[in-house]
Amino acid sequence: MTGHVLGVVGATGAVGQKILKVIDERVKNIKALRLFASARSAKQKIAFRGHLIEVEDLEKANFAGLDYAFFSAGTEVSEKYAERAVEAGAVVIDNTNAFRMRCDVPLIVPEVNFHAIKPHHKLIANPNCSTIQMVCAIAPIHKVNPIKRIVVSTYQSVSGTGTEAIEALKTQSAQILNGENPTVSVYPRPIGFNLIPQIDVYIPESGLYREEEKMVNETCKILESNIAVCPTTVRVPVFCGHSEAVNIELTNEMSLDRVRNLLAGAEDVVLIDDPANSVYPTPLEIQDKDEVFVGRLRRDMTLPCAYNMWVVADNLRRGAATNAVKIYCKMTENCK
């Protein structure tokens, strides 16, 4: 049988489940599939292409025989096990923050900088979800007219935190609707009917939260440019789908039609932009889609070379699973 032996670490989690779904949709030939998770999830059986595959205990796992492994079980897990998988012969595509800023690890959005992967690279990092969708939208413009500065505000759904956060939003929303005080869980404040301008840990030296720092550093690494990035990341009471208000300042003035044409012709970017008729993307309507959706495209009236756009994507698919599987597909050409 042709194809590869694939592994998914964190197979029972939200991103791991999406990776399996995208593999099923996109990968043509699979020699074998191995699934890994923590001891509490081991021995579960997951259906895949007509077979039930038993989940292996990650702590006891032997990675020998794996050709490619997708890691999606958290930074600490990747730090402990990803390089072991590489040593056993696998190419690892890692969805966590563990290796993104290591100079010897390429940080890849396939439509933007696949060229950064070289034959010797056996460990490849998937960027942060909020970075992926923004870079997909701005890279086509940056290639022809370099971006000098980005100001971005994100509106990030609770699914980016995991299933516990989804349940917290459900519970707190019901409590508030029933006139009760919401229980605080997962986040430092209630997320039901609320906005929280804090994602990840605080960094006193910069005044940023870690999610904001990721957007700064990852954008520059992916675009191979010292773009000034000014982010504010906000958790919002949305179940799935991240949205971003993005302002870019270009090196040279460009017509709005030219910007529009660059976006309309970009791979996996969908322009939905007729604001006079209330036509623009929202997270509810783009769930379970793989593209990055752009609307509200307009000039920034305060600067001659600046433009605004609204960028929306499914954070679990486009911002994680699909990006990882597309890396594999482009490396192997083993795609449907």
Active-site residues, by number, are 129, 242
On the 0-12 / 13-18 / 19+ scale of CB atoms within 10 A, 202 is exposed
C-alpha to C-alpha distance for 180 and 167, rounded to whole angstroms: 17
Give the CA distances from residue 157 to residues 160, 212, 255, in Å, rounded to whole numbers and listed in that order: 6, 15, 33
Give the CA distances from residue 114 to residues 2, 48, 109, 111, 330, in Å, rounded to whole numbers and listed in that order: 24, 29, 7, 7, 8
- What residue type is 168 in one-letter code? A
Q: What are phi and psi of 50, to 5 degrees?
A: 85, 5
- Triad 331, 13, 237: Cα angle to 5°: 105
Q: What are phi and psi of 270, to 5 degrees?
A: -115, 120
C-alpha to C-alpha distance for 88 and 60, rounded to whole angstroms: 14
For the chain, state the CA radius of gyration. 20
Among candidate residues 109, 106, 128, the one with its CA nearest the CA of residue 117: 106
C-alpha to C-alpha distance for 301 and 294, rounded to whole angstroms: 19
Give the CA distances from residue 152 to residues 102, 136, 229, 271, in Å, rounded to whole numbers and listed in that order: 24, 14, 8, 19
Among candidate residues 97, 115, 169, 334, the one with its CA nearest the CA of residue 106: 115
3-state SS assignment for residue 129:
helix
Residues 6+ apart with CB under 8 A from 87: none
- Triad 117, 121, 122: Cα angle to 5°: 125
